Structure 1
Amino acid sequence: MVLFLIIDKSEVIMTISLRHLALFLCVWCFSNIAQAQTQLSPSPQRTISVQGSGTILIVPNQLEFSVAVEQRGTDTKILQQQVQKKVTDIVYLLQQNGINDRNIQSMEMSLQPHYEYDNGKRTHTDFIFVRTIYVKHNDFTVYSTLMQALIKAGATSISPALFTHSNPKQQYLDALKLAVEDAKKRAITMLEPLQAKLGDVLSVNEQSRQQPVAYRAKSMAMLESSSIDLPGEKGIEARVGVTFLVR
């Protein structure tokens, strides 16, 4: 069977064998399918996965503690006034000891009903109003003297102090950098005997979280006759997992 194509302008008659046309189309289709399969099936990448760790040693540079003022009575308005007066005196005392206003927070307060029990019967008697002040201070030497002065100024209770650092976030970020560098060194060391080279980074995974840096100081009862012990260094550790390409 023969296919005739007639072109009017040039008046040329082209004769093409249908068998040859079919053969051409088959070859063209198989060629494109093979090329597509080659593009979708790249050669597997060689990778190496390692873990790294980094530690920053720091010395705590501030104290953190809380002061509670508690008052009990039947008139809530009077209770609030009494507590507020003591809080004002305590804040003034803290300021006089060199503590900046931004390191004194007195936002937390609570008012709870008080009950007494007699032969299994609960009776509401009065209310307990509590105001809590959170304090940060960078002078360790005045701690014991300051605690005693706060009690005299009207503080009902004082929490044990914690030694902390003023910028733990930056310290942790520095430890993260060391962890990544450690992972890279480990990968290079492992590839060296294999005569392979380290390639680009494929993925990085943080395997640790920033932890609070704190030492617990002595309680008020122990401060009556002794001075506070200064803390030593504390490590902030970060860990990462890194996957590299291998060349």
Structure 2
Amino acid sequence: MTQEHATPDAPQVTVRGEGRLDVDPELARFWVTVSARGADRSATLADLTRRNTQVLDLIKAQGAAVEKLETGSFSISPELTRKGRGERVHAYRGRVRVTVELSDFTVLGELVTRLADLDLTSVDGPWWELRPASPAYAEARRLAVEEAVQRARAYAEALGTTLASLLELSDAGPDQLPMPRRAAFAGAAVAYSAEGVGDAAPLDLEPQRQTVTADVVARFTMRPPAL
């Protein structure tokens, strides 16, 4: 597209608009890691399967609160020890990692506590997020456009004139999706194994607000000012 050039009869003004919102998160994501270890490969795999089933059943029992439940990785491998001139299998270690996303934060604290109370099970998170199609992104873009128009009008008014038409409106860059935020105390309070937990009270997890930004560039023509 051929860019229109400014002329004395059609002066132009180019401005940048920025939109910024702080909103409540819509999703909480965390990892659950189930482990097993033993001298017999089949027994270790059976323990891992049983514990993984316990975790999945507990999560699925939350019903509609669960937005996503995915198995991220599975491994079972021998631990070798050197004896004499060769190596022998000392034990087998297995692990399954599950990713969980919740949309109902009222069940989050109790769920992660109950999961961490299971044998050889650890929980890591939460990370707070917005959905990719969250209305917050559209609202941030609207605010950015609104600010661009206000800035352009302010320039025109400073010259004693008004805006005539919009020539171009474009993103100044990709919309900045908020980075998933981990609870400030997650490393100490949530990422732990079942050992020694007992009948712990549900964790009190406070959602962290998400920052959404948008930037646009707008170009307008103005009516010729009387300078």
* Shared fold per TM-score greater than 0.5: yes
TM-superposition CA deviations, 1:163-221 (whole Å, max 9, x none): 33345643112201210121111011111121343222234233342223535154385
The answer for the alignment partner of 2:195 in structure 1 is: none
Find the aligned partners of 1:112 and 1:245 in 2 and give their Cα distance: 68
TM-superposition CA deviations, 1:117-140 (whole Å, max 9, x none): 89xx99864543221111122343
Residue 154 of structure 1 and its aligned partner are, at CA, apart by 3.5
Q: Compared with structure 1, are the counterparts of its residues 245 and 52 closer, same or farther at alpha carbon in structure 2 (3 Å cutoff)?
A: same
Written as runs of structure 1 = structure 2, the 5 A alignment for 1:157-172 is 157-166=122-131, 169-172=134-137
Find the aligned partners of 1:217 and 1:98 in 2 and give their Cα distance: 27
TM-superposition CA deviations, 1:99-132 (whole Å, max 9, x none): 55652212422345545689xx998645432211
The normalised TM-score by structure 1 is 0.66
The answer for the alignment partner of 1:222 in structure 2 is: 189
Find the aligned partners of 1:107 and 1:186 in 2 and give their Cα distance: 48
Query: Which residue of the other structure, out of 208, 218, 221, is the alignment partner of 1:242?
Result: 218
Corresponding residue SS for 2:125: coil
TM-superposition CA deviations, 1:31-69 (whole Å, max 9, x none): xxxxxxxxxxx9754322211111233112432211001
Written as runs of structure 1 = structure 2, the 5 A alignment for 1:185-196 is 185-196=150-161
- Counterpart residue type for residue 145 of structure 1: E
The answer for the alignment partner of 1:92 in structure 2 is: 57
Contact kept? 2:181, 2:208, Cα under 8 Å: no
Written as runs of structure 1 = structure 2, the 5 A alignment for 1:174-189 is 174-189=139-154
Written as runs of structure 1 = structure 2, the 5 A alignment for 1:97-176 is 97-98=62-63, 103-112=68-77, 114=79, 125-166=90-131, 169-176=134-141
- Counterpart residue type for residue 205 of structure 1: D
Identity of aligned residues (%): 21
Contact kept? 2:6, 2:12, Cα under 8 Å: no
Q: CA RMSD in A?
A: 3.4
Corresponding residue SS for 1:65: strand
Q: Compared with structure 1, are the counterparts of its residues 233 and 161 closer, same or farther at alpha carbon in structure 2 (3 Å cutoff)?
A: closer
Contact kept? 1:69, 1:86, Cα under 8 Å: yes
Corresponding residue SS for 1:195: coil
Find the aligned partners of 2:79 and 2:89 in 1 and give their Cα distance: 6
Corresponding residue SS for 2:63: coil
Query: Which residue of the other structure, out of 197, 200, 205, is the alignment partner of 2:166?
Result: 200
Number of aligned residues = 204
Contact kept? 1:104, 1:135, Cα under 8 Å: yes
Q: Compared with structure 1, are the counterparts of its residues 112 and 185 closer, same or farther at alpha carbon in structure 2 (3 Å cutoff)?
A: farther
**Structure with bigger RCO (C-alpha 8 Å, 6+ apart):** 2
Residue 74 of structure 1 and its aligned partner are, at CA, apart by 6.0
More helix by share: 1
The answer for the alignment partner of 1:48 in structure 2 is: 13
Corresponding residue SS for 1:191: helix
The normalised TM-score by structure 2 is 0.70
The answer for the alignment partner of 2:207 in structure 1 is: 231
